[in-house]
Amino acid sequence: MLKINALYTEYTNELGQPVKAAQDINIVVPEGHFFTLLGPSGCGKTTTLRSIAGLERPKSGQISVDDVVVYSGQRSVFVPPNQRGFGMVFQSYAIWPHMDVFTNTAFPLQVGKKKYTRAEIDEKVMKVLAAVQLDHLRDREATKLSGGQQQRLALARALVMEPKLLLLDEPLSNLDAKLRELMRFELKRLQRELGITTVYVTHDQSEALALSHQVAVMSQGRIQQIGSPRDIYERPSNQFVADFVGTTNFVEGTVMTKEAEHDFYVIDTELGPLRSYSVEPVRAGDKVVLSIRPEDIELSDAQPGDVSVNAWHAMVDQKVFLGEAMDFQVKVGNRTLLSRAHPSVRTPIGQRVWARIDPNKSVAMPAAEELKKAA
């Protein structure tokens, strides 16, 4: 199990000014889980990963794996990276070009402190090459591998030492789009089969959602939300998370009333009264912002059974065919909303359509001005 408590890391920029790269990072990753640090460039995710690896020395906090402390600011503990026993794969795979697949993979065993016999090395290397499906290429030169094969070779080299923790820093970013999708499945299969605790860094939200047990969304050095991929996508805690993870419609409003027995509210918006779920308790009069995913705006030519709540007559303004889906821009009054529908919805541009939003799929969160009041 990986535990990070109150981690604070900073560095000095080219002007000699301190930059707060990671602030008050608290993370618990259970054994065997795949945990992703997700965020835009410069948010602190790679700094956090490098701090775990021992490639950065934090200013304060504590990092432990299986109750063994590898860093503690208070106790002045700093275990060097080569003594932590972690595997790491970087964005550039750093494959040895003059070695074949087998030798690249065996290298960590040959130079490590622990000595292995030739038979032991052969057994360990072939086991891990089989896991990444490269055992049939053991004698191939590394430079003659495809991009996906090189990525799997880098993984094999990190795994051959049987690390307690696997750290992956955007390992798929150099691959083309189709290969990246294929490697997501490979990574997920490999991690599940080996049961190795993994921390993954990416700016690609689709990677994070596809691979992870849990995701930490970061911005400006701080964790904004930690949760399962579904929670992060369907129940974002703030506007940054909702906007960064996927596409959404933001609708501003003011809380009118709360339903007696549920976490639902009636919100006064430019679309009219809208029934919505809220991520945290709000009061009548509070300013909120609603996040509504395009696929959660249901379009139909027929009038819904109940038009009293979250249903409006809309005008089709634009539409784009995507193959498996249709993207519509529809106007409700003066407001344009993005909706993603099944291709069977064929309402022409300029014609009216009914738009309906499930209250469970509309997520209200405090507006920026309300957050400033609370701060």
Q: Which of 89, 327, 79 is nearest to 186 (CA)?
A: 89
pLDDT per residue as tens, the chain (375 positions): 999 999 999 888 788 888 888 999 999 999 999 999 999 998 999 999 999 999 999 999 999 999 999 999 999 999 999 889 898 888 766 777 888 999 999 988 888 778 888 999 999 899 888 888 889 999 998 888 888 888 888 888 888 888 889 999 988 887 778 878 888 888 888 888 888 999 999 999 999 999 999 999 999 999 999 999 999 999 999 999 999 999 999 999 999 998 866 778 999 999 999 999 998 888 999 999 999 999 999 999 888 776 667 899 999 999 999 999 999 999 998 999 999 999 998 899 999 999 999 888 999 998 875 555 554
Can you say how many angstroms the Cα of residue 159 is from the centroid of all Cα atoms in its chain?
23
3-class DSSP assignment, residue 256? strand
Cβ atoms of 71 and 77 closer than 8 Å: yes
At residue 375, the pLDDT reads 47
- Tell me, what CATH number does 306's domain have? 2.40.50.140
Q: Which residues pair with 10 in a beta bridge?
A: 20
The H-assigned helical ranges of 171-251 are 177-194, 205-211, 229-234, 239-244
Q: Which of 212, 201, 167 is nearest to 39 (CA)?
A: 201
Domain final residue pick, 240, 258, 284? 240
Tally of structural domains, the chain = 2
| Spatial distance between the Cα atoms of 136 and 149, rounded to a whole number of angstroms | 12
68-72 β-sheet, strand order: 18-29, 2-12, 60-65, 68-72, 77-78
Domain final residue pick, 240, 268, 291? 240
Residues 48, 113 within the same domain: yes
Residue range of the domain that includes 98: 2-240
Residues 58, 115 within the same domain: yes
Can you say how many angstroms the Cα of residue 33 is from the centroid of all Cα atoms in its chain?
14
- Tell me, what CATH number does 175's domain have? 3.40.50.300
Cβ atoms of 212 and 233 closer than 8 Å: no
Residues 77, 198 within the same domain: yes
Residues 223, 313 within the same domain: no
Q: Which H helix or E strand runs over 126?
A: helix 118-131
Cβ atoms of 59 and 237 closer than 8 Å: no
Tokens (6 digits) for 242: 């909702």
Domain final residue pick, 222, 240, 258? 240
311-321 β-sheet, strand order: 297-300, 352-357, 311-321, 326-332, 335-341
What is the Cβ-side half-sphere exposure of residue 35, based on CA atoms within 13 angstroms? 26
Q: Which of 24, 65, 56 is nearest to 216 (CA)?
A: 24
Distances (CA, A) of 375 to 44, 270, 279, 336, 368: 23, 27, 18, 32, 11
| Per-residue buried b or exposed e for 6-43, using 16+ beta carbons within 10 Å of the residue's own CB | ebbbbeeeeeeeeebbbbebebebeeebbbbbbbeeeb
Cβ atoms of 349 and 317 closer than 8 Å: yes
Taking the CA atoms of 44, 251, 235 and 279 in sequence, report the sign of the dihedral they define: positive
